[in-house]
């Protein structure tokens, strides 16, 4: 902008003015030819005009006007005198002659000085125009032919200035074919409006594309009609590259942000509900936000060669699709799928027609583009995510990368859904077991109630029976309980016998009889009315009819025994 204003200031020194807009209100036409380039340091620095100089210039112009006026008046006097036939004094004629000589000399001096200043101004302009980096141009508004262009034209376009004047329309060939129609239309419009501001591409002589920005302003004649267009053109190739890179970076950043947001939403959706149907629906809907597809499935091995489509979704969705059985097939029928499951790797097929065994892939033959990523959780291969499109060459490595990112939370969600399903089964089975346990507990409570009643009845019979009862352990013969009749028959109090064994009390006259009794009880049968001899506390041997059976008492294996007297038998017969 500073260079542009400098040009306008240099142009203004020639005294020819034109309208070029608010940034450069005055400018001057330059000649068509330009001298060779001059270094910028050779240019005279621009200095502000001193007020005294402006006063001197005013006086000079006033004097140059007054002196010719006086000469004109004297000449008029001489002419009138001659017409009247009057004789003029010699002094007056000498004054008139001197005035004409002075006017002639003064005019010649001013003319020489103006020519010198014009040449100096033109030289300064050429120095400025030849050394700026922008193209300074001027065209005829009617023909659109160039009238002037500086040497920057050669630097930027690679063509000589002379070639432009030899072929005035050759600048149109510089414009990139894709931009040419638009730029020329705007240039034609500028010849009527006076305003031209465009950014477009040009093609240099070496075939290199460059970006330039062009500003144009009107030059009007005395009638106000646009006579010429003048302006600048600046190369902005590096600036354009920087802008494009910024746009590209912003696009990449926005795509990354959108991708991260989609993955976040997908991860959140996959954890909202652990039922497998919900997980499949959330996964395939989230996939659509990352990858366009016609059909997507989650394929899992089901043991042996069998493969099941655990989830499936098509786009666009059919209104109220009728329920149908999920897709199933065997790898024996689809060798292509067998290799996918065996390799457990990501696969991208731009055109399925180029794949040898694609037709064997049941339910996928209509897809032209296809990709697959493995679903792995806790180092366990769960299956693969199958994504396909009806058009060929729809998928790139970028789509495969997105699918791999989604496969990580998807595999975890599928594994969690399976664990949740198993937990539901275990919970249902546990609930059934709890029901059975509650029923058994109720039955036990009832049985314990019945047993308590039975025990109460047993205690009543045991205590009140007139027949001696005793309860001893099987292994040691230790007394756990006796009734009142036992105390009366054997002379021991209940307190004396509890906790002591039959061997300590020497109640069996022949301990071998007890051993035989234990053996019979061990064979499973009770003992009924076995005749034996038992000793009382006083040492008396009583002939006894002994009956016994095994019972559980206080958690121990015990013997419930009944011993009765046999007074009617005489001793000799018993022996």
pLDDT (0 to 100) of residue 129: 59
Choice between 127 and 111, residue whose per-residue pLDDT is larger: 111
Choice between 181 and 552, residue whose per-residue pLDDT is larger: 181
Q: Give the DSSP letter of residue 354.
A: G
Q: Is residue 126 scored above 60 in pLDDT?
A: yes
pLDDT (0 to 100) of residue 321: 62
Domain regions of the chain by residue span: 31-38+54-132, 254-423, 465-574
pLDDT band at 399 (very low <50, low <70, confident <90, very high): very high
Three state DSSP letters for 443-498: HHHHHHHHHHHHHHHHHHHHHHCCCCEEEEECCCCEEEEECHHHHHHHCCCHHHHC
In whole numbers, what is the pLDDT of the chain averaged over residues? 80
pLDDT (0 to 100) of residue 23: 37
Q: Is residue 183 scored above 80 in pLDDT?
A: yes
What's the whole-number mean pLDDT along residues 306-319? Answer: 87
529-558 pLDDT tens trace:
888 899 999 999 988 888 898 888 888 889
pLDDT (0 to 100) of residue 35: 35
Q: Does domain 254-423 have CATH number 3.40.50.150?
A: no
Neighbours of 216 (CB within 10 A): 24
Compute the Cα dihedral for 393, 394, 399, 404 and give only its sign: negative
Q: Give the DSSP letter of residue 382.
A: E
Q: Give the DSSP letter of residue 255.
A: H
What's the whole-number mean pLDDT along residues 11-39? Answer: 37
pLDDT (0 to 100) of residue 15: 36
* Lowest mean pLDDT, pick from 80-94, 156-170, 462-476, 535-549: 80-94
pLDDT (0 to 100) of residue 302: 87
pLDDT (0 to 100) of residue 11: 41
Q: Give the DSSP letter of residue 566.
A: -
Q: Is residue 37 scored above 70 in pLDDT?
A: no
pLDDT (0 to 100) of residue 501: 92
3-state secondary structure of 366: coil
C-alpha neighbours within 13 Å on the C-beta side of residue 396: 2
Show Cβ contacts of residue 300 under 8 Å, excluding neighbours closer than 6 positions. Answer: 307, 308, 310, 375, 382, 383
pLDDT (0 to 100) of residue 351: 93
pLDDT (0 to 100) of residue 128: 62
Among 132, 161, 133, smallest CA distance to 147 is for 161
Strand positions, DSSP E, 150-247: 196-203, 209-220, 226-235
Among 355-364, 395-404, 457-466, 566-575, top mean pLDDT goes to 395-404
Q: Give the DSSP letter of residue 188.
A: H
95-120 pLDDT tens trace:
777 777 777 777 677 777 777 777 77
pLDDT (0 to 100) of residue 319: 72
What's the whole-number mean pLDDT along residues 316-328? Answer: 76
pLDDT (0 to 100) of residue 266: 83
Domain pair 254-423 / 465-574, same fold:
yes
**293 class by beta-carbon count within 10 Å (0-12 exposed, 13-18 middle, 19+ buried):** buried
Percentage with pLDDT > 90 across the chain: 28
Q: Is residue 441 scored above 80 in pLDDT?
A: no
Strand positions, DSSP E, 302-379: 306-314, 328-330, 347-349, 369-377
Q: Is residue 470 scored above 80 in pLDDT?
A: yes
215-252 pLDDT tens trace:
999 999 888 899 999 999 999 999 999 999 999 999 88
Q: Which fold has domain 465-574?
A: Beta-Lactamase (3.30.450)
Q: Give the DSSP letter of residue 41.
A: G
Among 206, 196, 229, smallest CA distance to 157 is for 206
Q: Give the DSSP letter of residue 512.
A: H
131-162 pLDDT tens trace:
667 888 999 998 999 998 888 888 888 888 89
pLDDT (0 to 100) of residue 296: 94
């Amino acid at each position: 902008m500073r260079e542009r204003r400098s040009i306008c200031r240099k142009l203004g020194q020639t005294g020819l003015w034109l309208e070029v807009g608010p940034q450069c209100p005055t400018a001057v036409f330059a000649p068509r030819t330009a001298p060779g380039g001059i270094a910028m340091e050779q240019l005279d620095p621009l200095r502000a005009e001193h007020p005294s100089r402006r006063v001197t210039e005013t006086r000079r112009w006033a004097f140059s006007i007054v002196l010719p006026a006086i000469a004109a008046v004297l000449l008029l006097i001489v002419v009138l005198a001659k017409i009247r036939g009057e004789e003029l004094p010699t002094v007056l004629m000498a004054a008139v002659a001197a005035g004409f000589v002075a006017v002639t000399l003064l005019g010649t001096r001013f003319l020489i000085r103006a020519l010198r200043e014009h040449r100096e101004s033109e030289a300064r302009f050429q120095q400025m125009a030849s050394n700026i980096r922008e193209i300074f141009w001027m065209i005829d508004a009617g023909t659109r032919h160039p009238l002037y262009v500086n040497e920057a034209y050669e630097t930027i376009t690679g063509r000589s200035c002379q070639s432009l004047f030899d072929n005035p329309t050759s600048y149109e060939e510089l414009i990139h074919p894709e931009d040419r129609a638009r730029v020329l239309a705007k240039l034609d419009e500028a010849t009527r409006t006076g305003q031209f501001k465009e950014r477009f591409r040009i093609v240099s002589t070496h075939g290199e594309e460059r970006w330039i920005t062009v500003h144009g302003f009107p030059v009007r004649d005395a009638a106000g009609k646009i006579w010429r267009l003048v302006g600048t053109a600046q190369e902005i190739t590096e600036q354009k590259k920087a802008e494009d890179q910024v746009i590209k970076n912003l696009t990449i950043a926005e795509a990354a942000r959108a991708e991260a947001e989609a993955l976040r939403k997908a991860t959140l959706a996959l954890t909202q509900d652990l039922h497998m149907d919900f997980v499949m629906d959330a996964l395939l809907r989230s996939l659509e936000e990352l990858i366009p597809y016609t059909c997507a499935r989650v394929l899992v091995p089901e043991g042996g060669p069998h493969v099941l489509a655990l989830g499936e979704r098509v786009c666009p969705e059919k209104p109220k699709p009728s329920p149908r059985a999920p897709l199933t097939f065997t790898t024996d029928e689809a060798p292509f799928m067998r290799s996918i499951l065996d390799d457990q790797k990501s696969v991208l097929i731009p055109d399925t027609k180029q794949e040898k065994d694609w037709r064997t892939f049941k339910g996928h033959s209509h897809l032209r583009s296809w990709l697959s990523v493995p679903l792995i959780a806790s180092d366990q291969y769960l299956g693969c995510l199958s994504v396909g499109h009806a058009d060929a060459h729809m998928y790139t490595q970028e789509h495969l990368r997105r699918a791999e990112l989604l496969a990580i939370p998807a595999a975890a969600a599928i594994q969690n859904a399976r664990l949740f399903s198993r937990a539901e089964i275990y919970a249902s089975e546990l609930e059934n077991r709890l029901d059975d346990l509650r029923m058994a507990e109720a039955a036990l409570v009832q049985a314990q109630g019945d047993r308590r009643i039975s025990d109460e009845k047993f205690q009543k019979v045991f205590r009140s029976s007139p027949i001696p009862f005793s309860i001893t352990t099987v292994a040691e013969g230790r007394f756990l309980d006796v009734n009142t009749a036992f105390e009366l028959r054997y002379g021991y109090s209940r307190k004396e016998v509890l906790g002591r064994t039959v061997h300590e009390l020497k109640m069996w006259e022949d301990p071998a009889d007890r051993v035989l009794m234990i053996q019979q009880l061990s064979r499973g049968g009770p003992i009924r009315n076995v005749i034996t001899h038992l000793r009382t506390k006083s040492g008396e041997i009583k002939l006894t009819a002994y009956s016994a059976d095994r019972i559980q008492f206080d958690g121990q294996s015990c013997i419930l025994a009944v011993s009765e007297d046999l007074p009617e038998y005489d001793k000799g017969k018993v022996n």
